[in-house]
Amino acid sequence: MPQKRIHAFGGGKAEGNKDMKDVLGGKGAGLAEMSNIGIPVPPGFTITTEVCSEYFHGGNKLPRALDPELRRALEKVEALTGKGFGDGGNPLLVSVRSGARVSMPGMMDTVLNLGLNDATVEGLAASARDPRFAWDSYRRFVAMFGDVVLGMKPERKEDRDPFEEILDAKKHARGVRHDSELPVDALRELVLEFKAEIRRRKGIAFPDDPMEQLREAIAAVFRSWENDRAIAYRRMNGIPAEWGTAVTVQSMVFGNLGEDSGTGVAFTRNPANGTDEFYGEFLVNAQGEDVVAGIRTPQKIADLAARWPEVATQLEDVRSRLERHYRDMQDIEFTIERGHLFVLQTRSGKRTGLAAVRIAVAMADARLITREEAVLRVEPEALNHLLRPVFDLDRKAAAVKGGKLLARGLPAGPGAASGRLVFFAEDAEAWRARGETVLLARHETSPEDIRGMAAAEGFLTAFGGMTSHAALVARQMGKVAIVGCEALRFDYHARKMIVPTPSGERTISEGAWISIDGTAGEVIEGQLETRPSEVVEVLVERSRDAKSAPVYQEFAKLLSWADQARRLKVRANADQPDQAATAVAFGAQGIGLCRTEHMFFGEGKIGPMREMIVADNEEDRRAALARLLPLQREDFRGLFVAMAGRPVTIRTLDPPLHEFLPHDEAGVAELARATGKSVEQIRERVQELGESNPMLGHRGCRLGISYPEITEMQARAIFEAAVDALEAGSKVEPEVMIPLVGARKELEDQAAVVRRVADEVFVERGKKVRYLVGTMIEVPRGALTAGEIARTAEFFSFGTNDLTQTTFGLSRDDTGPVLKTYLEKDIYPVDPFVSIDREGVGALMQIAAAAGRMVRPGMKLGICGEHGGDPASVGFCHEIGLDYVSCSPYRLPIARLAAAQASLREAAKEKPVRNGKRPGVNGVARAPKKVARSRRARARA
Ligand code: ADP
Ligand code: MG
Ligand code: MG
């Protein structure tokens, strides 16, 4: 049984405070806190979330013990306002408001003007000296009570609110268009008709007793915790059902008492771009909901001063006090009653990524918060917003309004892109080559589309989820993408895309302009202008000077603070010198994964690669490999130079060979021509290499073990390139990584080849390069026997994409239908290909990390799966002591921030809050030293 069911606030003090969100809800805690610090708040009280549990556990009944407490609390409010609840002379009216621990805007219900009946309405009319206002409030209250408390709100979209219907009929009968034109006697009639409607539909009388009204309204607000909207919202945002809502009962203030009254909502800073300006809207002579309802066009906060200079000054003071007090941007509701300002709500305001960065940096610079807090304030994922090309918002809204919205899909690659539609990767390349801007739309994409994808501004697929090939490539390349846009149908032969829209089926042909908003997941017909983000202009395109780029400067500042706080290093997954350069610009401290197979799709390489694959004997194979050698060497040299001495991890050939072979007639014919074989022979070879489950077949180190000459060629390319780069004055640190190792002997076999070739090259060239040979841990057997493998491996890199596939026994390319159901049914909490499954995959990683370091103290450990760019997974990698995470270049800023947050959270846990202050940078910087010390200790042991 709860100790105290009701906490009062008002009159410059309160029984609660801002840290009591669990019991008072966000709204109640905010009102209590504002009372405590002397912000004008209409007095009231909050009934705790525990009473909500009591209500549900007691079979939807309010506990009896609540009644006396309720009366006592009302007395306090009466004393503070000088009004009486149910008093026919000078009535106290209240609102009954919902409020959960975290804000669930608009999900639950609120009742306003409670306490009105046939007697009190006269008192209100007299005290306000405005009968029209009193009767207008009364009819609003009866309708709201009917809707919210008695459940008369329409359930289905096509149904109308019964009170609205009666109101419309009344306006029609009186020949007026607006509610405000109805005279008092019409409003009186409405009250009677509303009450009659309640009796007709519900068979009960509208309760005249204010106490009964109050009890029923409180119960209704508790019940609204279980309405469909609230349940759906909770599910989407991971809010536990047990939390329940608090109920705040608060004396009413009226913004609709004439031209000297009004109501508004405001943010203490601009929530879209973070500018330090008071940002919001207000309406003159209006009540709470009217601003949001959008019936009248509100005025800007900036115009408030012209109308009410004193109120404006007061509000400005509230703004700065709330910000200083909460040390964060606030979102407030306020009402002005006959020239007096009241604040009705305050909470941390939701903001875009751009605004989040701006606000955090500005507040730290103003010493309102520490730099560590600034780093903790920004959701890592929000940084995406600063990297993507942008649409002009007004133009987009106009296009949508003009019926140009074609379809919606999953926002896989945030940002904005416009281009001419193509359906084939080759076309994307060809069109691009002649100077066109293109968008590639396909049912789905595959590795052989990679060059076309690079040529396109963005891509659009009908199939696949957030981890599909298209989504993955979008992240790696920083492209805009919408995937899983199920409404799209393709007619590749006719080169058309068919889209059902509300106004009928639309056919979009090749070459037509379309625009995709990868942040919102919206496909729009026509060309919308975009431009690169400022950060990209400075870092990647180098077309803008950092000095004239304020957004970039803030971004860089925040990340420099993050870099001071983090222990984890960050590396990039990059295959080409230009990607490496981008990675370095985004802060890469090395390359964690160079997928050599991507190189084979490059200019002039796929030919010899295919010849190598179809060769029937070692000699032919070696001849083809000899042609690939200089091409690979050149790629590697470029990478080494771009990385300027930072470690570069190169993985030997990984995918099954058939992925490189042509599957279409023309491709087969061409390969036959090039190799002097018959079309049949080529077809046979393609057939022969086909596998029923390529994910578990002849791939990874198995290829190098079957065809050591492939590994030989790759090792030679790596070491020759390393010596070349060294001779050109660049430092190099190659790390050769053997994929898919499950048994130590596999690695020994391949490591021996690599080391032999290294020695040969060093002798030939008369120069030595320091290098490491290690392995990916990406099958459970590899993780479980990691101690054994570590006798040969000099480093481990967790390939968590494959480790997740093989641990779950679930192919990543076939997750679509499975995951959809599993996530809906809550069987998996999150998509394990997006965020590391700590319990399963994570456990294997921990086993492998511990075993590896036991055998080889201080062994270098990293992760190169897509998870390396997922903030939650980065946190996990920090916790289990990895040295680095590696991710796509465009996700590096996110990884840096996530790594910093993991360090800061750990430090906060280790070092309890002292003097009310959180540990500073110095406190945090100790974390890495401690790790280093324990590692040395292990080394001594
Ligand atoms: P929500 O959580 O959906 O925003 P609120 O409880 O904040 O619901 O209330 C809805 C509207 O009613 C808001 O505009 C609020 O400012 C207004 N309101 C609530 N209580 C009062 C009150 N005591 N006096 C005047 N307006 C109020
Ligand atoms: Mg509100
Ligand atoms: Mg793998």
pLDDT tens digit sequence for 589-643: 999 999 998 888 877 788 889 999 999 888 999 999 999 999 999 999 999 999 9
- How far apart CA 558 and CA 397 sit, in angstroms, is 32
Q: Which ligand number lies closest to the CA of residue 864?
A: 3
Q: Which ligand number lies closest to the CA of residue 42?
A: 1
Q: Is 106 in the pocket of ligand 1 (CB under 6 A)?
A: yes
Parallel, antiparallel, or unpaired for β 279-284 and 6-10?
A: unpaired
**What local confidence, expressed as pLDDT, does residue 231 receive?**
83
Q: What is the DSSP string of 370-385?
A: -HHHHHHHS-GGGGGG
- Residue keyed to tokens 């391949």: 750
**What local confidence, expressed as pLDDT, does residue 911 receive?**
66
Q: Is 250 in the pocket of ligand 1 (CB under 6 A)?
A: yes
Class of residue 587 by CB neighbours under 10 A (exposed 0-12, middle 13-18, buried 19+): buried
Query: Among 140, 290, 344, which residue has the most ligand 1 atoms within 8 Å of its CB, making it the best to mutate?
Result: 344
Neighbours of 617 (CB within 10 A): 8
> Can you tell me which atom of ligand 1 is nearest the CA of 107?
3
Residue from 89, 92, 62, 48 nearest 74 by CA: 92
Q: What is the DSSP string of 530-597?
A: EE--HHHHHHTS--S-GGG-HHHHHHHHHHHHHHHH--SEEEEE--SHHHHHHHHHTT-SSEEEEEHH
> Can you tell me which atom of ligand 1 is nearest the CA of 44?
23
**343, amino acid identity:** V
Which residue's CA is the closest to the ligand 1 atom numbered 27? Answer: 288
Which residue's CA is the closest to the ligand 1 atom numbered 8? Answer: 110
**161, amino acid identity:** D
Query: 337 near 254, Cβ under 8 Å?
Result: yes
- How far apart CA 797 and CA 803 sit, in angstroms, is 11
Which residue's CA is the closest to the ligand 1 atom numbered 15? Answer: 288
Residue from 382, 435, 61, 381 nearest 215 by CA: 61
Q: 266: CA distance to ligand 1 center in Å?
A: 14
Query: 643 near 580, Cβ under 8 Å?
Result: yes
Residue from 171, 195, 24, 175 nearest 118 by CA: 195
Query: 529 near 418, Cβ under 8 Å?
Result: yes
Beta bridge partners of 96: 111, 249
- Sheet of strand 279-284, all strands in order from the earlier edge strand to the far edge: 299-300, 279-284, 262-267, 330-337, 340-348
Whether 864 is catalytic: yes
**What local confidence, expressed as pLDDT, does residue 152 receive?**
92
Reading the block at residue 621, the tokens are 């194979």
Query: 244 near 266, Cβ under 8 Å?
Result: no
Beta bridge partners of 441: 460
> Can you tell me which atom of ligand 1 is nearest the CA of 94?
23
Distances (CA, A) of 67 to 46, 73, 74, 79: 14, 10, 11, 19
Query: 6 near 44, Cβ under 8 Å?
Result: no
Beta bridge partners of 887: 572
Q: Which of 469, 598, 658, 867 is catalytic?
A: 469
pTM: 0.82
Q: 805: CA distance to ligand 3 center in Å?
A: 9
Whether 698 is catalytic: no
- Long-range CB contact pairs, 604-613, < 8 A, 24+: 604/631, 605/631, 606/660, 607/674, 609/660, 610/660, 610/661, 610/662, 610/671, 610/674, 611/671, 611/674, 611/675, 612/710, 613/657, 613/660, 613/661, 613/685, 613/689
Q: What is the mean pLDDT of each run of 10 residues along the chain (941 residues)?
A: 86 95 96 97 98 95 95 97 96 96 79 97 95 96 95 78 94 91 96 97 96 97 88 78 94 94 92 85 83 64 93 96 96 95 93 89 97 96 86 83 90 86 94 95 85 91 75 75 90 94 88 91 91 90 93 97 98 94 97 90 83 90 93 95 97 92 87 90 89 87 96 97 96 97 98 98 97 98 98 98 95 82 84 95 98 97 95 97 97 97 93 47 35 38 34
Query: 508 near 406, Cβ under 8 Å?
Result: yes
Q: Is 81 in the pocket of ligand 1 (CB under 6 A)?
A: no
- How far apart CA 51 and CA 4 sit, in angstroms, is 10
Ranges of beta strands (E only) in 301-414 are: 330-337, 340-348, 390-391, 405-408, 410-413
**What local confidence, expressed as pLDDT, does residue 915 receive?**
46
Reading the block at residue 503, the tokens are 């106004």
Helix-then-strand count for the chain, H and E:
37, 34
Helix, strand, coil percentages in the chain from 3-state DSSP, rounded to 5: 50, 15, 30
Q: Which of 485, 864, 877, 887 is catalytic?
A: 864
Angle of helix 606-614 versus helix 618-643 axis, rounded to 10: 150
Query: Among 333, 337, 346, which residue has the most ligand 1 atoms within 8 Å of its CB, making it the best to mutate?
Result: 333
Residue from 702, 714, 757, 700 nearest 625 by CA: 714
Class of residue 163 by CB neighbours under 10 A (exposed 0-12, middle 13-18, buried 19+): buried
**H or E segment to which residue 393 belongs:** helix 393-401
